[in-house]
Amino acid sequence: MLLPPIRELRARLTQPGAHAALVEEVLAAATLPAAAHAYTALLPELARAAAAAADTALAAGRPLPPLAGLPVTVKDLYDIAGRTTMAGSVLREGAAPATADAEAVARLKRAGAAITGLTAMSEFAFSGVGINPHHGTPRNPCDAALARIPGGSSAGAAVSVALGQAVAALGSDTGGSIRIPAALCGLVGFKNTQARTPLAGAFPLSFTLDTVCAMARCVDDCLSVDALLAGAPLVVQRRALAGLRLALPQTVVLDALEPAVATAFERTLQRLSAAGAAIVPLALAELAEIGQINAPGGLSAIEAWGTHQQAMQTQRERFDPRVAARIALGAGVTPAEHLAILMRRRDWIARVTQRLAGFDALVCPTVPITAPPIAELVASDDAFFKANGLLLRNTFTVNFLDGCAFTLPCHVPGELPVGLMLAAPCGHDAALAGVALAVETLLNGD
């Protein structure tokens, strides 16, 4: 089943018990083979209570909160009171249960969301692939013939939405963990400016880069959830495509595009140009500096090492070996070196922001490849790390910029999903949303 956009679904749920019936349908679907490994836990009592509250309010003629009784999933790195937050790892077994909900979860609950389950993820959110050797890897619903990766780290989040088991999925984005799986599964993902949404109660990967955000089936639904997570809606003005200036970087982001991605991306650029948008090539050579600025180790590895140092030194064999290898890159980096990265990054952000002045958005493929087969990446470290690097390459530029970005599906029926990324500097979320709505309308043929 595929769920319609939130506004349309809300208009349909008018009969007595409609919310309860929807939640039961979703909970049943979550146990079917197509959803294997997508969830680390189902939360039927929590979901049924929210659905019952929505049906009661509807019967009494009371106003419904924005997500009343609608199925939403939560990535298993957010605290839920009374449960141990596993963050995709067996190392969390036996840890104390959370004493309170993460702030993002609390806000979803206050909006009436029926939280149906906790979704699977790469261990400690440290991979763009979505493979998890501890709990299994959910299959990307885009291909019935071949088991492909869902993307990560918000792997189960994407699968839950793509299968129609949630109107939205709460995930996180440190280097692309919302946008990568959304792109590979044919969904819309919104990585907001980091400071817009609260990190309290989210298990950290990188305090500098982690962003609380969500994915859904359309831009409007992403904005609706963002408004709840942030505590205030963006003031969005819908834009016309005619007159938009979109920067097309010529450095890094167009390298080594898989033919299917190149075809879909070029076709989309042609449609945007025909609709009156100006696609302006921009050298943006600063993108090639990221690796040097982020050395040694990289912010994610350095800050993950700070979180996991003791476990890495005493229980490394219990980690996903590929995650452990990435965390280990942060070992031995001194506080002075960490500070130097942060200072270099601040200067880089200022320079890139200046380069993007006068543009409505940056445009590029979200990821340069389509979803590879799971088996190939499980079997080979070389194939895994090559794919992981490619998947994170374009999306990470926005996290490093402390910017905001949408991914929109730009493939056509019969093709594997391809994402189009629209991005802007820090704090430009509202303006970018107006651009994303305009581009989405074109891509949908509306």
Domain ranges of the chain: 6-230, 245-287+353-444
Tokens coding 143:
């291909």
Question: Strands of 419-424's sheet, edge to edge?
Answer: 39-42, 114-119, 71-75, 168-172, 212-216, 188-191, 404-409, 419-424, 361-365, 245-249, 278-282
420 forms beta bridges with 365, 408
The pairing of strands 71-75 and 188-191 is unpaired
Half-sphere exposure of residue 142: CA atoms within 13 angstroms, side-chain side:
26
Dihedral (CA of 239, 436, 409, 27) sign? negative
The residues, any chain, with a CB within 8 Å of residue 221's CB and separated by 6 or more, are 5, 6, 167, 168, 188
Distance CA 410, CA 86 (A): 34
Distance CA 39, CA 224 (A): 24
Q: In the annotation, is 153 catalytic?
A: yes
Distance CA 195, CA 175 (A): 15
Q: In the annotation, is 177 catalytic?
A: yes
Burial state string for 154-173 with b = 16 or more CB within 10 A and e = fewer than 16: bbbbbbbbbbbbbbbbbbbb
Annotated active-site residue in 122, 127, 153, 172: 153
Distance CA 105, CA 111 (A): 10
Annotated active-site residue in 127, 177, 206, 224: 177
Protein fold of 6-230: Amidase signature (AS) enzymes (3.90.1300)
Q: In the annotation, is 206 catalytic?
A: no
Distance of CA 158 to the CA centre of its chain: 8
Contact 192, 181 (CB under 8 A): no
Positions of E strands within 131-241:
168-172, 188-191, 212-216
Model pLDDT, residue 1: 73
Q: Measuring CA to CA, which residue among 105, 135, 124, 190 is closest to residue 324?
A: 124
Each of the 446 residues of the chain gets a pLDDT tens digit; together they read 789 999 999 999 999 999 999 999 999 999 999 999 999 999 999 999 999 999 999 999 999 999 999 999 999 999 999 999 999 999 999 999 999 999 999 999 999 999 999 999 999 999 999 999 999 999 999 999 999 999 999 999 999 999 999 999 999 999 999 999 999 999 999 999 999 999 999 999 999 999 999 999 999 999 999 999 999 999 999 999 999 999 999 999 999 999 999 999 999 999 999 999 999 999 999 999 999 999 999 999 999 999 999 999 999 999 999 999 999 999 999 999 999 999 999 999 999 999 999 999 999 999 999 999 999 999 999 999 999 999 999 999 999 999 999 999 999 999 999 999 999 999 999 999 999 999 999 999 97
Distance CA 129, CA 207 (A): 21
- Phi and psi based region of residue 236 (left: phi greater than 0; alpha: psi -120 to 50; beta: remaining): beta
Model pLDDT, residue 446: 72
> DSSP labels for 386-397?
HHHHHHHHHHHH
pLDDT in tens, 276-288: 999 999 999 999 9
Tokens coding 1:
């089943």
Model pLDDT, residue 336: 98
Q: Cis bond leading into 153, ω under 30°?
A: yes
